[in-house]
Amino acid sequence: MIVITGAAGFIASFFVQKLNEEGYRDVVLVDDFSTASKKANWEGLNYIQKIDRRKFFSWLEEYEKEIQFVFHLGARTDTAEFDTNIFDELNLNYSRQLWRLCVKYGLPLVYASSAATYGMGEHGFDDKHELIKKLKPVNPYGISKNEFDKWALSENKKPYFWAGLKFFNVYGPNENHKERMASVVWHTFNQVTETGTMKLFRSQNECYKDGEQLRDFIYVKDIAEVLYFLMHHRKDSGIYNIGTGQARSFIDLATATFSAMGKEPNISFIDVPFDIQEKYQYYTKANIDKLRAIGFNKEFTSLEDGVKEYVQGYLMKD
């Protein structure tokens, strides 16, 4: 069995779809399945069992001999949430308990970290282990992810294969439930559908023009390819950046969305909300040399192709 936590969420549900396409049906979904807005993400998938996340550990203890791999993709991902108790419970303590069970029963583990661990990018975006303790995330979500990365590296007992994946700016199908935290593609599509225009954040950094703030945008299908690769690779444990290695502007992203919708770009600008102005990132770009060095050689989807497929193949159909 392949166990996937966060299975009702964005990346995890899309990865289950990838597994189904590759012929895997012995998949166990773990999550809180009570959220109605997430139901569309998992109701059409092929799986053998659905487990509430609160009952997962006792279930794992009972069925550990039948498990081949664990993907821990469940987490609280809201960067605007400031209740640290939530992150301690769901992102830190839950992950530690799962790690220990994977050590106990000899199970390989891949877990979701985040590019939010890099904070304002003072130390760059390099996934070398020795840099992780120097990072300064700017919100409780990023802090919780970095704390677990540091804890994992410091542990003497580790799963025989493990990988922590620092996902950069992911966009694609199955993110509807994320609302405010959904990608700019999703927001552009909905704003253009409703108003005919898209409002991007105005730059308050003299080094960047309005809308030319840069991010490493990665299509969720490429994330699924990396996860699938690691499921078979099972060596070279460590923490890895998962991005395209390219920085593109928000104007590029919005323009690609307009194009996919068959519309001329109509972009205006608004101020960055006051509560995040001091923590707003103007540049991210993943160094993916380490991922390439272990043998992942598939090309990543271009921004234009990914946005076109997402908009025309999913959002417009929805």
Residues with a catalytic annotation lie at: 141, 178
Structure tokens at 283: 């540049």
> Whole-angstrom Cα distance, residue 217 to residue 34?
30
Residues 6 or more apart whose Cβ sits within 8 Å of residue 107: 64, 67, 69, 70, 101, 159
3-state SS string for the chain: CEEEECCCCHHHHHHHHHHHHCCCCCEEEEECCCCHHHHHHHCCCCCCEEEEHHHHHHHHHHHHHHCCEEEECCCCCCCCCCCHHHHHHHHHHHHHHHHHHHHHHCCCEEEECCHHHHCCCCCCCCCCHHHHCCCCCCCHHHHHHHHHHHHHHHCCCCCCCEEEEEECEEECCCCHHHHHHCCHHHHHHHHHHHHCCEEEECCCCCCCCCCCCEECEEEHHHHHHHHHHHHHHCCCCEEEEECCCCCEEHHHHHHHHHHHCCCCCCEEEECCCHHHHHHCCCCCCCCCHHHHHCCCCCCCCCHHHHHHHHHHHHHCCC
User: Is the Cα torsion angle 139, 242, 32, 315 positive or negative in sign?
Assistant: positive
Structure tokens at 99: 């790690």
